[in-house]
Amino acid sequence: MKTLLLLLLFCHVSSPVKHSLKFFVTATSGSLTLPELMISLVVDDVHVGYCDTNTQKPDIKLDWAKNFFDKNPEDLKWFAAECSEVLPTSFKDRIFLLMQVLNQREGVHILQRIQGCELFEETGEVNGILQYGYDGEDFISLDLKTLTWIALKPEAVAIKQRWDADKAGIKRYENLLTQFCPEWLKKSIDYRKSSLLRTDRPSVSLLQKTPSSPVSCHATGFYPDRAMMFWRKDGEELHEDVDRGEILPNHDGTFQMRADLNISSVSPEDWRRYDCVFQLSGVKEDIITKLDKAEIRTNRVPPSEFPAAAVIGVVVGLLLLLLCISGLFIWRRNNNGFRPANTSDSSPPPGKASN
């Protein structure tokens, strides 16, 4: 079984290496709180940079990307111009056109665009991507094979007809997606090689919300994203009662993943027969974590650690306080109307006449 798993992992590693460069653009109309336009730069599914019309200055997140833009200032200048000048105007015009065609009134509207390219390292094949979404729904996309727009919903047909007639605009998009974008992506790969070739081992933890919840084996901080995680029983991989999550990116360029084990049918004495295995491409040693209650992290307070003595003390104190208050109330009720003879020259309390 382990041989099969290693073979599958090897096949995954040997699959064609694909790199991607994408810009996620969001423009708003009628909003008093959001920037007029926001751009996120994503490389290989990792957030690299951000810019909006409020700051008008790209914020580059990763060290290799900062180095890239330092050595290629013309690319950073282009990014800044797209954010502050070019796209705000064009997106404003597009939203106005969409509102006219769709017969919409004034209000908050959101136009989104994903543009970019994918590059297969071995073959050099390039795939361009350009798609619009409007008010939260897929709207229209560009087919680079036919150089025509594809309406993704009936309301987009009228826009398709208008944009299909703009041959010069389509040609500009073709050049952007099949020439400029791949060239930029190829240049960035050289700056990322040191990062791409590294291997970062993760920290692995066992997590559980409640005693009846599945136990989650969670690995975070690993790199690259070619990894496997699975549960075993007596050394054999489990397929039932296991829920594997996807590999997700962290903000620092590393990745995380999880695998949940349903323990509802596992008796306490059988826990020692289970373990979680994490395998990372480029690393020979597996990270094996035994299913152990003592190692599980949780927010709940175990009964043995519950501060029973403190709670009992508080309860006893409250009972004594209630008894004192009740005794005082009973004493005042029983002595209502009784007053000792006045033996002083002082005046009686207000509301009481002297005898």
Domain span holding position 150: 15-196
The single-letter code of the amino acid at 74 is E
| Lowest mean pLDDT segment, chosen from 4-18, 78-92, 119-133, 169-183 | 4-18
Say if 220 falls within a structural domain: yes
Is 31 among the domain residues? yes
- On whether both 207 and 263 belong to a single domain, the answer is yes
Residue 117 has pLDDT above 90, yes or no: yes
Residue 171 and residue 100 in one domain: yes
341 domain-assigned: no
Contacts of residue 302, Cβ cutoff 8 Å, sequence gap at least 6: none
**124 lies in the same domain as 96:** yes
Residue 283: CATH number of its domain: 2.60.40.10
- For the chain, what is the domain count? 2
Residue 325 lies in a domain: no
Asked if the structure places residue 309 within a domain, the reply is: no
Query: What's the mean pLDDT in 25-42?
Result: 94
* Domain identity same for 121 and 231: no
Residues 152 and 239 in one domain: no
Q: How does pLDDT run across 68-79, given as a tens digit for each residue?
A: 999 999 999 999
- 20 and 167 fall within a common domain: yes
Spatial distance between the Cα atoms of 76 and 83, rounded to a whole number of angstroms: 11
CA angle centred on 223, ends 204 and 294, rounded to 5°: 0
Shared domain for 48 and 159, answered yes or no, is yes
Higher pLDDT, 31 or 262: 262
Q: What is the mean pLDDT of residues 1-15?
A: 45
pTM for the structure as a whole: 0.60
Q: CA angle, corner 82, sides to 78 and 86, nearest 5? A: 125
CB atoms within 10 A of CB 221: 14
Q: Within this chain, do residues 96 and 232 fall inside the same structural domain, yes or no?
A: no
Range from 41-45, 123-127, 185-189, 298-302 carrying the lowest mean pLDDT: 298-302
Each residue of 292-350: pLDDT tens digit?
A: 999 999 866 555 544 555 555 555 455 555 554 444 444 344 444 433 333 333 333 33
**Are residues 60 and 108 both part of a single domain?**
yes
Tens of pLDDT, residues 279-304: 999 899 999 999 999 999 986 655 55
Q: Among 196, 224, 251, where does a domain finish?
A: 196
Same structural domain, 58 and 107: yes
| Distance of alpha carbon 329 from the chain centroid | 59
Residue 314 lies in a domain: no
Residues 188 and 223 in one domain: no
CB-based contact 216:259 (threshold 8 Å): yes
Whether residues 229 and 91 fall in one domain = no
In a domain, 127, yes or no: yes
Residue 237 in any domain: the answer is yes
Give the end of a domain, one of 196, 218, 249.
Answer: 196
Identify the domain boundary among 270, 297, 324: 297
What 3 state SS string does 215-261 have?
EEEEEEEEECCCEEEEEEECCEECCCCEEECCCEECCCCCEEEEEEE
